[in-house]
């Protein structure tokens, strides 16, 4: 997960955000995977993770690339409307809103502040020193790894312990590599066929539990 997310760094999203978007793709993959098709889960999941991250980058690009002329036009129109509160909305403002561009325009108008900028009077401390927490933050890689595991753990917690164990072994979710049906069976003292049945049932359960909206809601604690 982290290695995939790192390939997309420098394109508008922080690593932690890329990890969160990758989590969504991973959950989609877990809910839709069918081992009977002969595809390895790692290959299948990689495709979904990349798709989820790329879609997030596309959304970000739509905001970042909002033409400055359009932003200026919106500022002028909204300024005229604020100057005369009782008047009818400016025609130019109505056009921009009706075109569905309002969310991108509002996002583009947000001012960014560098954490290296001085705070307060001239010569003040950099903003990052003023806002710094007394607790030492986790190293970036450790924080990313923790967040990558969080979404998967939340999903698996909806399943029985045995179902969780089977999926963790089959999909390599415990960093021990993917196990074949036979290998997982030996670890769990179950037949190959029984492992296959449990895996199929567990994946079916995930498909029932998670719609796209529910997947995003599931990851909300990580985003906060």
SS3 per residue for the chain: CHHHHHCCCCCCCCHHHHHHHHHHHHHHHHHHCCHHHCCCHHHHHHHHHHHHHHHHHHHHHHHHCCCHHHHHHHHHHHHHHHHCCCCCCCHHHHHHHHCCCHHHHHHHCCCCCCCCCECCCCCCCEHHHHHCCCCCCCCHHHHHHHHHHHHHHHHHCCCCHHHHHHHHHHHCCCCCCCCCHHHHHHHHCCCHHHHHHHHHHHHHHHHHHCCHHHHHHHHHHHHC
- Is residue 127 situated within a structural domain? no
Both 153 and 213 in a single domain?
A: yes
Both 19 and 80 in a single domain?
A: no
Both 48 and 152 in a single domain?
A: yes
Both 151 and 214 in a single domain?
A: yes
- 93-148: per-residue pLDDT in tens? 556 555 555 555 555 544 444 455 555 544 555 544 544 444 444 444 444 444 44
- Is residue 167 situated within a structural domain? yes
CA atoms within 13 A on the CB side of 85: 0
Give pLDDT, residue 146.
47
Both 187 and 95 in a single domain?
A: no
Q: Over the chain, what is the mean pLDDT?
A: 67
Question: Rounded to two decimals, what is the model's pTM?
Answer: 0.36
Q: Is the pLDDT of residue 209 over 80?
A: no
- Is residue 195 situated within a structural domain? yes
Q: Is the pLDDT of residue 78 over 70?
A: no
Both 36 and 98 in a single domain?
A: no
Residue with tokens 């290695």: 3
Domain end: 118, 153, 183, which one?
118
Pull the structure tokens for residue 175. Answer: 């960093």
Q: How confident is the model at residue 197 (pLDDT cuts 50, 70, 90)?
A: very high
Pull the structure tokens for residue 145. Answer: 């790894």
92 is in which domain, residue-wise? 68-118
Q: How confident is the model at residue 6 (pLDDT cuts 50, 70, 90)?
A: confident
**Average pLDDT of 155-177?**
79
Give pLDDT, residue 75.
64
Both 91 and 52 in a single domain?
A: no
Q: Do 78 and 93 form a contact (C-beta atoms < 8 A)?
A: yes
Both 152 and 95 in a single domain?
A: no
Both 174 and 85 in a single domain?
A: no
How many percent of the chain have pLDDT more than 70?
A: 46
Q: How many domains does the chain contain in total?
A: 2
Q: How confident is the model at residue 193 (pLDDT cuts 50, 70, 90)?
A: very high
Both 148 and 206 in a single domain?
A: yes
Give pLDDT, residue 195.
92
Q: How confident is the model at residue 2 (pLDDT cuts 50, 70, 90)?
A: confident
Q: Is the pLDDT of residue 153 over 90?
A: no
Pull the structure tokens for residue 95. Answer: 């056009």
DSSP-assigned beta bridge partners for residue 126: 118
Both 48 and 6 in a single domain?
A: yes
Both 157 and 213 in a single domain?
A: yes
**Average pLDDT of 54-72?**
65
């Amino acid at each position: 997960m982290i290695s995939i997310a790192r390939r997309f760094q420098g394109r508008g999203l922080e690593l932690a955000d890329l990890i969160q978007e990758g989590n969504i793709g991973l959950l989609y993959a877990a809910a839709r995977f069918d081992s009977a098709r002969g595809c390895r889960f790692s290959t299948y999941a990689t495709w979904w993770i990349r798709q989820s991250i790329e879609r997030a980058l596309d959304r970000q690009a739509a905001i970042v690339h909002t033409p400055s002329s359009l932003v200026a036009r919106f500022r002028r129109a909204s300024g005229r409307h604020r100057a005369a509160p009782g008047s009818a909305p400016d025609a130019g403002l109505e056009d921009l809103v009706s075109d569905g561009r309002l969310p991108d325009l509002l996002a583009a108008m947000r001012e960014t502040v560098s954490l290296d900028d001085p705070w307060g009077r001239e010569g003040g401390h950099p903003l990052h020193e003023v806002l710094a927490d007394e607790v030492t933050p986790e190293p970036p890689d450790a924080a990313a790894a923790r967040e990558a595991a969080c979404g998967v753990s939340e999903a698996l917690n909806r399943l029985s312990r045995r179902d969780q164990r089977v999926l963790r072994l089959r999909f390599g979710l415990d960093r021990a590599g993917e196990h074949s049906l036979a290998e997982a069976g030996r670890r769990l003292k179950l037949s190959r066929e029984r492992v296959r049945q449990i895996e199929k049932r567990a994946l079916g359960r995930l498909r029932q539990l998670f719609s796209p909206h529910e997947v995003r809601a599931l990851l909300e604690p990580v985003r906060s």
